[in-house]
Amino acid sequence: MIELEQKLIRKNFVRNEKSNDTLFFYKKDDMTSQVNIQQKENKYRVSFPMSNDTIHYSTSFDSLQDATKYLNYVVDCNFR
């Protein structure tokens, strides 16, 4: 998880310290462009902005490890 957080920081995201989500970051220059992992009823929902930053995509996983692995892949491939 630390590696993922470091990647997001390098890509101009900042942590939302007030959130209770497992992971919650937003772009420095656009608070509506958010990346998060949220636990709900034994599932982990991953949400992130699409390439145009106007809509978000989300999907769910059974484990935090799978959610983190997926979000790592998305961050590596898609965020500038």
**Distance between CA atoms of 26 and 1, rounded to whole angstroms?**
16
CA 18-13-37 angle, 5° bins: 60
User: What pLDDT score was predicted for residue 53?
Assistant: 67
DSSP run (H or E) holding 6: helix 2-10
User: What pLDDT score was predicted for residue 12?
Assistant: 93
Global pTM value = 0.87
Tens digit of pLDDT at every position of the chain (80 positions): 899 999 999 999 999 989 988 999 999 998 889 999 999 999 999 999 887 767 889 999 999 999 999 999 999 987 65
For the chain, domain boundaries: 2-78
